[in-house]
Every structure is written in structure tokens, then in C-alpha cells.
């Protein structure tokens, strides 16, 4: 098992290398550059040329890339051009925000999705099943930013039930330990912070969680339906096992295997949705960093971010593979 | 609209002095050391933390005393004597005096390091070179020395007269910092690592000025700055205990935020939302327009080199109609390339009233009846002077097509090639661009655009360049005014390197319980006069 994990991790290195190079070339082939974006409306060609020279952007691409790789090996990802802060500290600030949001979205999707999918399968063809299937179609089809906008307009602006954006009410005093607001609030017993952070989390988590929710419902439903038709379920029923035992030991356990794959894939895809959700809800996480980075052609930030995203994706895939082993003993034997 | 907002000003009575005032800006500040910045979002918090020697009178672009109660310019314009306000303290408790002023001037002039100097856009613009230039574009320094004659008298000597001074000293970039804090937090240590910069902790965590609010903290992830009232402020104390400046990039999100009551003031609401906000009880303060939108015409194209063709284009555009339909209330058709409030604005410039027949005959006379032009316009962006680039483009393109000019539209993202194509490569025949002025001086407009050769216009007339330079170098105020009036007349009548289109007013909106905000034409709002009723 350990050797398997190590081998998988080592396999990541060439992937990241190739990716970083493609990324480097691609970023710099985009029209417009950081100097133009950073200097704003008052930029003159002289100022742009001067800044490009200062930044070393007038050198050949391979020289720049070589220097970049050299710096990365010393752990230096450089500073963001837009904020002048080290990219590493930007990431350290933004990562908890995105993880908190993604975790909440995923939790929302799983906690709601698996029971809905299961019930839908059990009541196949009924009113509940049909409406669930239609709802999931809608859920997948609605663009994230539109859903976010509508939820915000209804629940924050019109009804005033929830805050429209941000992670916490502006100006609220709060002790920062890990950067995870809810966790920090619990650790310091600042219950008003915890409550405030949860209220801020609800709308974006629903927005971001809607697509994974719909996907999980459908996969669970299909998978449960498959399992219900299996011989061993019929056998179990025939030999008079209690319905509850059949449900938990035979049906759900076997049905969850494809569901866990889906959850893993959805977790990897969350970042894409997070870019839009974070923009709508002014979340200040990785998604916001990425969006602003592209807008400002912030090369150092984008390079670091995309490498981190790629690494995350690879790690999530690894976790999914490992979770197979936990759910299905046969995988462990192989 | 503006008048109605004005009448409510100041009548709101006392607000809650413990309140937190929350303002939504459009982007994150870069850092809090004003000298390294040139953008409005970095200046917004800096304006609350710092004072300048001279400031703009609230709601106008006129000069008024700030840290200096008086300033005298010598007849040759090479010496400015500042009489300083007494009893002023920096937020760290140290005294504000002439030595502190000179410390700041000397600091700017002696700044070392390519990273530092390439970030000092306004300094380089105003004072040209440094003690030791690190970039090729810096010229001979204008600044010579600063002498503290006594505690309350600082004399700034210049190597040559510069028309923009002293008005340029109202720029937030020239805010006065506490010398103690600058030294303590190593403010000049701007370092470059690879292709990026890092700033000292002065710029990121310890900005120290004399202003009505003190810096408390900045949350970089969300771009939220928190300031608290400076109880030792020399002027009228701030009316709210806390000031929070948030970054909310999109117009829609800012509007929703104001409606939900989670912010009190939003900057740059979209013009189409003004009426809706007012009908919901919000106030929309329309700033006087201190900007210009123009249609650039690139003379690199030989056809456009012919003045008659450029004039034909000017006659062909129905600017009255355009401004009425595509711009917010209060927008005006521009006659020349600067707002009428500036000294040097000429009342009697050549008028190009809408006249398609005349346009056609001019084109025919120039042998350019079958003209095809590449017309560039930006996407993914609105600017205060350009609320809806695509709509403006469409309207102008239709007018030009109507007189027989074929238009090839080229749409480019603002940061994704538009500015590069226009300002560096000069690929366009026609394009839309403009800007908002920085301070009360004609050069800031006409000099910036037409003071020298630029790929943007392909305008190469050396006499015009010399004429503008001479106006800027004229120390006698009356003579300078006359010079600039002539410059404006010639630019519109004789050279016409672009067609001035419009001056349009950007707005700032507040919740109904907010009073005392004075909107500034330079977007130079200071929030300490603002009250919030609970």
C-alpha cells in the first residue's frame, strides 16, 4: 500500500514539469501583459517598457523559464504582480477560504444527494422519483453564476435573511489561527464569529454544491437501481434478512462504489465552479485569486496557482483510488 | 439628480459616532505607501490615512490649504515656500514639521532600486528624474532641494519651472508620511524577486500619516481595509469610529450589497442602475465630470494624415444624439480635450456640428470616398468616461458608415491586447479611449495626449509638441492660460488628432441613512465628514 502511494506521488513530478512548461508558454502567448494591466490607464509606452525591463519580461522566454524553475526549486514562487505579496502567502490566505467553501458545498451535496438518490431509486417511476430526476436536470443545467446571482437577490437582497457576500461581516473582530473561520471561532469560543461565518457560507455553498448534488443524486439512483436487481439482493430477501440489514450491508455498500468515484471527480471539479461562485460572492479564495490573476496577467500568481490546482487534482484522484480500497475489499486484495 | 442630493447634504443631523462606515470599491489596493501607487483603489484608503500639503477643495478640483496653510511660488517658479500648519501630529505621536516635509521630499528624490523607481509613476511624471535614475525613461530631475527654514517653513527648490506644480502636490501619491515610521519599518526597502516586487512592512502594515483615520488592518484575501478614527486629528474629527473599505469588483454585486444594507457607500454604480437605486431610497451623488472620451485617429494611415478626412469624420458623428442616448444623465458633448473647469479651456474652438453632407464632400475632396478603416473598441470593461464601449462604438460606426466609410470592427479585451494594440503597436485606424484627470492642470490632459509622438495617434507635428511644452514651461499664470487656450484652439481647429466626444459624470451611491458625503470630480472623496444614522 505504502509503495503504491509513493509510486503514485513520484509520478506526479514529470506531470507537473510538463504542465508548468506548457503553462509558462501559454500564459506568455496571451495578448496583453502584466505591465499594461498593472500600470492602469495612465500607462505610457515608456513606462510599460521600463516595467517590462524591471520585471525581466523583455528577456527570451527560455531564459525566463529557466529562472522560474530555478526559483521554484528553492521554494520561491515569487510575488504576485498585482498585490506584491509573496504568492505563497496569498495561497495560504486563500486556500482555507476555498477549502471551507468546497467542503461545505460537498457536504451539502453528499448529505442531501445520497438519501435523495436512494429514495428516488426505491420509489422508481413514482411522483417523487420523477420530480427528483427533473430537478437534477435543472440543477446541472443552470449556470453557476446565474444561480448565485438569483439566490443572492432573493435571500440576501429581497428577504434580507442572509448576508450577500464575503466570509464574515466587514469590521467584525475575529482571531485568526488557521484561517478556517468556523474552526477558528470554535477554538477561540467566539460563537458570534462561528454563527456569522456559517450564515455567510450558506448561499455560496448551495450555489457551488448544486451541480455536484445533482450528479450525486443521479449516480446514486442509477447505482442503487443496478444493485437492487442483483442476484445477491434477491437471495438476501429470499432468505428473509431484515430490510434494514439488506439496505445497509448489501445495497448501499455496493452502490456507493461508483458514487465515491463521482464525489472524487466532483471535488476535483469544484475549483472550476469556485472561480465563478467566489466571484459572485466576493469570497476571497483561490477562485478569486485566479480570476484576478488572469485579468491582470499576473504571471507569478497564475503559475503557482495552476501548479497547486494540478497537484490538488492529482492528490484527490489518489484519495479516490484509496477510498475504493476501503469500500471494496476486493480492490485491496488486487 | 445632483441638485437633489446636494440639498440633503448636511441636513441629516448627528449620526452614530460609534458606527462603522463600510465602503465598496472596485479593486484591491496595491499597498498603503502612496508614493508607490497611481491607482484610485490604492488611493482610496490612503486619502483617509494621510494628508497632502495642498489638497483639492471638497467637491472641486480647486486648491486649498491642507498641511500647508499657505504656499508662495517665486516669480521664476523655481522656489515654493510652504507655511505649515501648527499643532499637527503624525499618528505615531511624532511631530509634523518642516523637517518631516523635507524628509519626505528627499526620500522620494533619493529612492533607489529599479523596483522602487518603476513604481513611482506620479513622482516621475511630476518631477521627472531621480538623484540616481534607474530607468531609461527618467529624465533630468526637476527637484533640487528642500530646506527647513524653521519648524513651520519648508522651501522646495526646483531646477526648472514646472507648470503642474504646485497643483500636482494635491495628488495622493505626495502624501506626507511620518519620518519615524518610514525609518522604523524600512519603507524604502522595495525588493525585487524574480519578476515581481515586495514592499516593506511600512507599505503593507504600518502606514502612518496625519489623516482623520488610522490604519488598523488589511485582509489581503478579501481586499478589506479596516481604519479607525484618529482622535488626535488636527481638523474636524471623523464622524464614524471605523471605516471599512471592501473590494467588490462587479457593478451588480456592489448594487446588491448596497440594497442588502451590508455596505453603506458604493463607488461607480452602473449608470443604468441610478434611477432604480434612487427609487429604493438610496442617494446617487453624481460627480462633476473631470474626464474625456475621444475617438483617436491614427495618422500612420496615409488617408488619415489628410486633415480633411479627419474633419469629415468629426462632422459625420452625431455626438449630441450619442451623448443623449448612450451616456448617463449630466454627460456633455466635449468641445476640446479637457474639461471646461480647467484654466486654459478655450470657449471659441472650431465646432464640428453633425453634418453628414459636409462630411461626404470633404471625403470626396480628399479623394477618400472609398475609405475602409479598422475601428478598435475594448470589451470586458467600462470606464468612468466610457460607460458602454460597445454601444458607443456601434453608434459611431453607424454614423461613419452613413457617410460612406467602411468600418472593420476590431474588438479586443482591455487588458488582453486592446491597450497594447492601441498604445504600443498602433494597429488601429480609429479607436476609443480617454481618461480622468489627476489634478487641476491643463497639461495633465492635452500634454499627456498630444505632448509628443505616440503610436496611439501617429501625430508627428513638432510645432504642436513645442507649443504644448512652451505652455507648460510658462511661469506667468495669465500667459500660461492664454497659451493653453491657443493650444486647445489649434488642437481642435488645425491638428485634430482625435475627435473629442464627451465628458461624462461618474457617480458614487450611498444608503439612505448616510449623510455628508461630498462627491469629488477627481474621485478624491474623504469620508471623515460622513455620518451614519443607525
Domains and CATH numbers, chain A: 1-74 (no CATH), 88-331 (1.10.3720.10)
Q: Report d(CA B273, CA B275) in Å as an integer.
A: 6
Cα(B373)–Cα(A308) distance, rounded to whole angstroms? 46
Q: Is the pLDDT of residue A284 over 70?
A: yes
Say yes or no to pLDDT of B3 above 70: no
Residue B321 pLDDT class (50, 70, 90 cuts): very high
Chain A: residue nearest B226 by CA?
A: A171
Cell 470606464 identifies what position?
A: B383
Average pLDDT over chain B, rounded to an integer: 91
| Cross-chain residue pair A160–B118, CB shorter than 8 Å | no
* Listed range (B10-24, B131-145, B436-450, B472-486) with the worst mean pLDDT: B10-24
From CA B398, how far away is CA B389, in angstroms rounded? 14
3-state secondary structure B66-96: CCEEEEEECCCCCEEEEEECCCCECCCCCEC
* Nearest-CA distance A290 → chain B (Å): 12
> Taking CB atoms and an 8 Å limit, are B20 and A171 in contact across chains?
yes
Q: Are B484 and B278 in contact (CB under 8 A)?
A: no
Residues whose CB falls within 8 Å of the CB of residue A325, separated by 6 or more in sequence, listed in order: A1, A331, A332
Most confident of A154-168, A257-271, B13-27, B91-105: B91-105
Residues 1-20 of B with CB under 8 A from A: 20
* Residues in A touching B412 (Cβ below 8 Å): 31
* pLDDT single digits (tens) B229-282: 999 999 999 999 999 999 998 888 999 999 999 999 999 998 889 999 999 999
pLDDT per residue as tens digits for the range A193-212: 999 999 999 999 999 999 99
CA A269, CA A261: separation in Å to the nearest integer?
Answer: 12
* Interchain proximity A284–B222, CB inside 8 Å: yes
Q: Once rounded to an integer, what is the mean pLDDT over residues B177-184?
A: 97
> Which stretch of DSSP H or E encloses residue B503?
strand B498-503
Instruction: State residue B9's pLDDT score.
Output: 42
Q: Is B196 on the interface with A (CB under 8 A)?
A: yes
Which of A26, A30, A32, A73 to mutate: most B Cβ within 10 Å? A32
Q: What is the mean pLDDT of residues B87-110?
A: 97
What distance, in Å, lies between the first and last C-alpha atoms of chain B?
25
Does the beta carbon of B512 lie under 8 angstroms from any beta carbon of chain A? no
Contacts of B125 in chain A (CB under 8 A): 42
Residue pair A216/A259 in contact (Cβ under 8 Å)? The answer is yes
What the block records as the C-alpha cell of B532 is 451614519
pLDDT mean over B183-193: 89
In total, the C-beta contacts within 8 angstroms joining chain A to chain B are 180
Q: Which residue does chain B place closest to A68, by CA atoms?
A: B194
Tell me which chain A residue has its CA closest to the CA of residue B30. A83
In tens, the pLDDT along B370-413 reads: 899 999 999 878 888 998 899 999 999 999 999 999 999 999 98
- Locate the DSSP E strands across chain A: none
**From residue B231, how far is each of B68, B90, B209, B395 by CA, in Å?**
21, 11, 13, 53
Collapsing DSSP to helix, strand or coil, B505 comes out as coil
Q: Which residues of B touch A157 (CB under 8 A)?
A: 256, 259-260
Q: Which candidate, B485, B441, B455, B454, places its Cα nearest to that of B467?
A: B485
CB A307 within 8 A of CB A293: no
A interface mutation test: which of B221, B384, B455 has the most A CBs within 10 A? B221
Beta-sheet pairing, B242-247 with B224-229:
antiparallel
B11 pLDDT more than 70: no
- Nearest-Cα distance to chain B for A215, in Å, is 29
SS3 category, B179: helix
Read off the pTM. 0.85
Give the pLDDT confidence of A58-102 residue by residue, as tens digits. 888 888 888 888 888 887 888 888 888 888 888 888 889 998 999
Cell matching residue B70: 499657505
Mean pLDDT of B2-8: 40
**Chain B residues touching residue A285 (CB < 8 angstroms):** 221
User: Do B197 and A297 count as a contact with CB atoms less than 8 A apart?
Assistant: no
Amino acid at each position: 500500500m505504502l509503495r503504491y502511494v509513493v509510486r503514485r506521488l513520484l509520478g506526479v513530478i514529470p506531470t507537473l514539469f510538463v504542465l508548468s512548461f506548457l503553462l509558462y508558454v501559454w500564459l506568455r502567448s496571451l495578448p496583453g501583459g502584466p505591465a499594461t494591466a498593472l500600470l492602469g490607464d495612465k500607462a505610457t509606452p515608456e513606462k510599460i517598457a521600463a516595467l517590462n525591463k524591471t520585471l525581466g519580461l523583455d528577456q527570451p522566454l527560455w531564459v525566463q523559464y529557466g529562472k522560474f524553475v530555478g526559483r521554484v526549486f528553492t521554494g520561491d514562487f515569487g510575488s504576485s504582480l498585482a498585490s506584491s505579496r509573496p504568492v505563497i502567502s496569498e495561497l495560504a490566505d486563500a486556500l482555507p477560504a476555498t477549502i471551507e467553501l468546497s467542503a461545505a458545498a460537498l457536504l451539502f451535496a453528499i448529505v442531501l444527494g445520497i438519501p435523495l438518490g436512494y429514495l428516488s431509486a426505491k420509489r422508481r417511476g413514482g411522483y417523487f422519483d420523477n420530480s427528483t430526476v427533473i430537478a437534477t436536470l435543472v440543477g446541472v443545467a443552470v449556470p453557476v453564476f446565474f444561480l448565485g446571482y438569483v439566490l443572492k437577490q432573493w435571500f440576501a437582497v429581497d428577504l434580507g435573511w442572509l448576508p450577500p457576500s464575503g466570509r464574515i461581516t466587514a469590521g467584525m473582530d475575529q482571531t485568526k489561527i488557521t484561517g478556517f473561520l468556523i474552526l477558528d471561532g470554535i477554538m477561540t469560543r467566539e460563537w458570534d464569529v462561528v454563527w456569522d461565518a456559517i450564515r455567510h457560507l450558506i448561499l455560496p455553498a448551495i450555489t457551488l454544491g448544486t451541480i455536484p448534488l445533482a450528479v450525486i443524486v443521479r449516480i446514486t439512483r442509477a447505482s442503487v437501481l443496478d444493485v437492487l436487481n442483483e442476484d445477491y439482493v434477491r437471495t438476501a430477501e429470499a432468505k428473509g434478512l431484515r430490510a434494514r440489514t439488506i439496505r445497509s450491508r448489501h445495497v448501499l455498500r455496493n452502490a456507493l462504489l461508483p458514487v465515491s468515484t463521482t464525489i472524487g471527480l466532483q471535488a476535483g471539479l469544484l475549483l472550476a465552479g469556485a472561480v465563478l461562485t467566489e466571484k459572485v460572492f466576493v469570497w476571497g479564495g483561490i477562485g478569486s485569486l485566479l480570476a484576478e490573476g488572469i485579468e491582470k496577467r499576473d504571471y507569478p500568481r497564475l503559475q503557482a496557482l495552476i501548479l497547486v490546482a494540478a497537484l490538488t487534482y492529482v492528490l484527490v484522484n489518489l484519495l479516490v483510488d484509496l477510498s475504493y480500497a476501503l469500500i471494496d475489499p476486493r480492490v485491496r486484495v488486487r | 439628480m445632483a441638485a437633489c442630493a446636494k440639498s440633503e447634504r448636511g441636513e441629516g443631523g448627528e449620526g452614530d459616532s460609534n458606527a462603522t462606515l463600510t465602503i465598496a470599491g472596485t479593486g484591491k489596493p496595491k499597498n498603503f505607501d502612496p508614493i508607490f501607487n497611481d491607482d484610485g483603489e490604492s488611493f482610496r484608503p490612503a486619502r483617509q490615512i494621510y494628508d497632502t500639503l495642498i489638497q483639492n477643495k471638497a467637491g472641486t478640483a480647486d486648491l486649498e490649504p491642507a498641511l500647508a496653510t499657505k504656499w508662495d511660488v517665486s516669480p521664476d517658479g523655481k522656489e515654493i515656500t510652504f507655511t505649515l500648519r501648527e499643532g499637527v501630529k503624525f499618528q505615531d505621536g511624532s511631530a509634523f514639521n518642516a523637517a518631516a516635509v523635507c524628509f519626505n521630499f528627499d526620500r522620494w528624490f533619493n529612492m533607489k532600486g529599479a523596483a522602487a523607481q518603476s513604481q513611482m509613476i506620479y513622482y516621475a511624471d511630476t518631477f521627472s528624474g531621480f538623484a540616481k535614475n534607474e530607468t531609461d525613461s527618467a529624465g533630468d530631475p526637476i527637484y533640487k532641494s528642500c530646506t527647513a527654514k524653521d519648524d513651520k517653513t519648508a522651501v522646495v527648490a526646483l531646477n526648472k519651472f514646472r507648470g503642474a506644480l504646485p497643483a500636482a502636490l494635491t495628488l495622493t501619491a505626495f502624501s506626507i508620511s511620518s519620518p519615524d515610521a518610514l525609518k522604523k519599518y524600512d519603507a524604502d526597502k522595495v525588493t525585487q524577486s524574480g519578476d515581481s516586487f515586495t514592499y516593506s512592512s511600512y507599505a503593507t502594515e504600518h502606514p502612518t500619516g496625519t489623516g482623520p483615520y488610522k490604519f488598523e488592518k488589511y485582509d489581503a484575501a478579501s481586499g478589506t481595509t479596516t481604519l479607525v478614527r484618529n482622535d488626535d486629528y488636527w481638523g474636524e474629527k471623523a464622524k464614524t469610529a471605523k471605516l471599512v473599505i471592501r473590494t467588490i469588483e462587479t457593478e451588480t454585486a456592489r448594487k446588491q450589497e448596497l440594497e442588502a444594507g451590508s455596505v453603506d457607500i458604493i463607488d461607480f454604480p452602473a449608470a443604468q442602475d441610478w434611477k432604480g437605486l434612487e427609487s429604493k431610497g438610496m442617494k446617487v451623488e453624481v460627480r462633476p465630470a473631470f474626464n474625456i472620451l475621444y475617438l483617436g485617429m491614427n495618422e500612420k494611415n496615409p488617408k488619415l494624415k489628410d486633415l480633411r478626412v479627419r474633419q469629415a469624420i468629426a462632422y459625420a458623428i452625431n455626438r449630441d444624439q450619442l451623448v443623449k442616448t448612450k451616456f448617463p444623465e449630466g454627460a456633455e458633448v466635449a468641445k476640446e480635450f479637457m474639461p471646461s473647469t480647467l484654466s486654459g479651456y478655450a470657449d471659441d474652438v472650431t465646432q464640428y456640428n453633425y453634418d453628414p453632407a459636409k462630411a461626404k464632400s470633404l471625403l470626396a475632396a480628399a479623394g477618400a470616398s472609398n475609405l475602409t478603416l479598422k475601428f478598435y473598441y475594448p470589451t470586458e470593461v467600462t470606464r468612468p468616461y466610457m460607460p458602454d464601449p460597445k454601444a458607443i462604438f456601434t453608434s459611431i460606426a453607424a454614423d461613419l458608415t452613413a457617410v460612406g466609410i467602411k468600418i472593420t470592427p476590431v474588438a479586443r479585451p482591455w487588458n488582453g491586447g486592446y491597450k497594447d494594440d492601441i498604445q504600443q503597436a498602433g494597429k488601429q485606424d480609429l479607436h476609443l479611449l480617454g481618461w480622468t484627470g489627476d489634478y487641476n492642470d491643463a497639461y495633465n490632459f492635452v500634454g499627456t495626449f498630444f505632448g509628443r509622438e505616440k503610436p496611439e495617434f501617429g501625430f508627428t507635428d513638432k510645432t504642436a509638441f513645442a507649443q504644448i511644452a512652451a505652455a507648460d514651461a510658462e511661469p506667468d499664470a495669465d500667459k500660461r492660460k492664454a497659451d493653453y487656450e491657443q493650444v486647445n484652439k489649434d488642437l481642435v481647429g488645425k491638428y485634430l488628432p482625435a475627435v473629442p466626444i464627451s465628458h461624462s459624470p461618474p457617480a458614487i451611491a450611498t444608503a439612505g441613512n448616510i449623510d455628508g458625503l461630498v462627491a469629488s470630480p477627481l474621485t478624491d472623496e474623504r469620508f471623515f465628514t460622513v455620518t451614519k444614522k443607525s
